[in-house]
Structure 1
């Protein structure tokens, strides 16, 4: 069985064996996966099963069929409203969100390492994905979530057998509570933010776009951003495809926040290298209400490297986009509607005209070929 790639600190370059269950460097830096050999055999793809594991050569761990639920390879369909837009339906994955991509990789890793207990913090979708995949792997899982988390997501976690810890206050309060509990001997902190193996699962989203578009990349990919796992996963995929000579250029990444909680958009507009924490404003896009994203510096660097930008949309625009998607036959949670709302604003020119980030985004969102992810199903956000 191939050796598992180690982890490396993004600040001091210290190396940690992945079997150590480290999730953060002793210097406080975030961990990434060390460079490993990427030699995907593109000619073999047509004969492989339609799951994210078809890209096995670029993943840090091999498939375990006792853990996998066949996740990945979600449909890419044209939008009825926008002829230049294709919608990637990740809300059709097994637990109804894109977080399955990273969760299956972490559960596979945990099983291979002989882990018996795992914990995670989440605004909802990561928790449901972790609960499902760790249950399938036979590993006890505890999920820390805000007490305001949608009942549907809580029911999902509990049905999969997870222990759910409800934390009063904001998403930031939940993260703080989880960090206090992290680091217990023999317990994997399966954080979708801190553990970098998760990002390598998410990057398969970008590989699928490339393959489903006849091995070409769009001009623009529009992504909701809170903690930013989708943004960083896309950046990893597009960088690897270009480096391997399988794509000529990177798509521009336009990341979208809710205007009530937009630290990354504000940092981008001000030309900052790192976001400044903001007060948590109430928003219907609960999945991206992150006041201080830990990988904020990496997110800003990644988006800028593609020539993209970060913008925000209002709850009114998100709600309208949510209804419009439903008219197209697509029932998603409000967080999943933010990217569609951004495209609608660009097409109708209803964005903030004096915003420096919107000045860049408007043309990118109306480019000839744009891909928008729909990341979570609408049933997750029902309150009754």
Structure 2
């Protein structure tokens, strides 16, 4: 296995260790891993999951891997220039499967006594499912008010649910405290860089399906930023290997109610001044007031020539209804990118938005209102 390295302190640790963060600055690890170029012509004969991009993935040397057939989600047009990638069609109905399969494979090799995750629902569901596939003991910490449908799914996979009396940040703190116990692996989608190397397959699939090209911009939801940072990794690898001619702009979207990164970006800051106020929002999946990788996210967006947008709950609700009427039933968080594109329709070139989570996980925003009932 490759090594962990702290991007701030340059401290290193073996990836076989259960140390989940830098012992000096307490920040998240990066992975000292050099992807090899992927041969586009060879892909047609490969396994139909994200493990097909073996040259670009850590942990790909051993076969077989943990898998539920994740990846290879379709891309469908929404307008002449905007398409949607349907990651809600993944095995657990969210894009988090891309990273969870990597963490489960890592845990299978390390053999910890238990695996701990914290989540507002989707990441916990994915860790529970892939943990079950790998035969792991799992506990998932969730904030009070988490969707009952998501809790049901986590429990069905055999994971223990620990409900924390508090918000998303308090839940993360409780999970981190538990993760410091001996022989425990913290399967954190925010802290463990293997997760990012899973989410980067989102862009590798676009590159493959577009015949060796990428769209002009990628509009991506940002809470902890795992999909955006994975996308940035893939873009740099593909560009660095000469497999694409240009880099797409990374356009990040946050909920207006909880938008510390958007505020920092537009203020020209390298990272947020402090945790944002945690206010209720329909986009609960990205309501992260203090993202551990904030500086990395801001840097990635700036280097790509991208920007940040925020969307209101009303815009999210309208976008979710609009997608449903196009045959695409997604949860409110999954509608934020389409909401942002609808609010700024004049962006030049081609764009892809991810539809990250299925509507069956939460239901329709405002379902108890007259508008929701009419939908």
SS of corresponding position for 2:105: helix
Query: Is the Cα contact below 8 Å between 1:151 and 1:382 reproduced in 2?
Result: no
The equivalent residue for 2:355 is 374
**Match 2:304 to one of 303, 306, 320:** 306
* Cα distance in 2 between the residues matched to 1:375 and 1:37: 25
Deviates more, 1:125-134 or 1:32-41: 32-41
The DSSP-based 3-state class of the residue aligned with 1:332 is: coil
Counterparts in 2 of 1:208 and 1:37: CA distance versus 1, 3 Å: closer
Q: Is the 8 Å Cα contact of residues 87 and 356 (structure 2) preserved in structure 1?
A: yes
Shift of 1:11: 1.1
Question: What SS class does the counterpart of residue 37 from structure 2 fall into?
Answer: coil
Instruction: Report what 1:75 is aligned to.
Output: 74
Query: Deviations along 1:323-348, whole A, 9 cap, x unmatched?
Result: 0000010000000000000111112x
Q: Give 1:168 deviation, angstroms.
A: 1.0
Q: Which whole-Å CA distance do the structure 1 matches of 2:355 and 2:63 have between them?
A: 27
Any conservation in 2 of the 1:116–1:186 contact (CA below 8 Å)?
yes
- Kept in 1: contact 2:40–2:208 (CA 8 A): no
* Alignment correspondent of 2:202: 205
Report how far residue 65 of structure 1 moved.
Answer: 3.9
Asked if the contact 2:223–2:254 (Cα under 8 Å) also holds between the matched residues in 1, the reply is: yes
How many Å separate the matches in 1 of 2:152 and 2:27?
A: 35
Deviation at 1:382, TM superposition (A): 3.0
Distance 1:287 1:228 in 2: 11
Q: Distance in 2 between matches of 1:301 and 1:126?
A: 24
| 1:340 match: secondary structure | helix
Q: Does 1:90 pair with 2:87?
A: yes
Decide whether the 8 Å contact of 2:35 with 2:57 is kept in 1. no
2:279 paired with 1:281: yes
| Residues 1-384 of structure 1 aligned to structure 2 (within 5 Å) | 4-27=1-24, 28-62=26-60, 64-65=63-64, 67-79=66-78, 82-276=79-273, 277-347=275-345, 363=346, 366-382=347-363
SS in 2 for 1:20: coil
Q: How far apart in 2 are the matches of 1:32 and 1:48?
A: 28
Give 1:169 shift.
1.4
Question: Could you list the per-position Cα deviations for residues 253-310 of structure 1 after superposition, in whole angstroms to 9, with x for gaps in the alignment?
Answer: 1110110111011001100000131111110000000011110000000000100011
The farther-off stretch of 294-303 and 110-119 is 110-119
**Structure 1 counterpart SS, 2:120:** coil
| Residue pair 2:6, 2:30 contacting (<8 A) in 1 also | yes
Q: Is the 8 A contact 2:74 2:85 kept in 1?
A: yes
CA drift of 1:40 comes to 2.3
Unaligned runs of 5+ in 2: 368-375
Counterparts of 1:176 and 1:330, CA distance in 2: 35
- C-alpha RMSD over aligned residues: 1.3
Q: TM-score, normalised by structure 1?
A: 0.92
> C-alpha distance in 2, partners of 1:49/1:19?
27
Distance 2:112 2:50 in 1: 23
Q: C-alpha distance in 2, partners of 1:10/1:49?
A: 33
Identify unmatched segments of 5+ residues in structure 1: 348-362
Q: Structure 1 runs of 4+ off > 6 angstroms?
A: none
Equivalent residue number for residue 370 of structure 2: none
Deviation, 1:9, is 0.8
Q: Give the TM-score of the pair, scaled to structure 2.
A: 0.94
Q: Name the SS for the 1:253 alignment partner.
A: strand
Residue 83 of structure 1, CA deviation: 1.5
Query: CA shift at 1:311, angstroms?
Result: 1.1
Separation in 1 of the partners of 2:113 and 2:170?
26
- SS of equivalent to 1:19: coil
How far apart are 1:42 and its partner, in Å? 2.8
- Given that 1:76 and 1:89 are in contact with CA atoms closer than 8 Å, whether structure 2 keeps it comes out as yes
Indicate conservation of the 8 Å contact 1:152/1:382, yes or no.
no
Give distance in 2, aligned partners of 1:94 and 1:160.
12
CA distance in structure 2 between the partners assigned to 1:244 and 1:89 by the alignment: 27
Q: What are the superposed Cα offsets for residues 59-79 of structure 1, whole Å, 9 maximum, x if unpaired?
A: 001265462011001001111
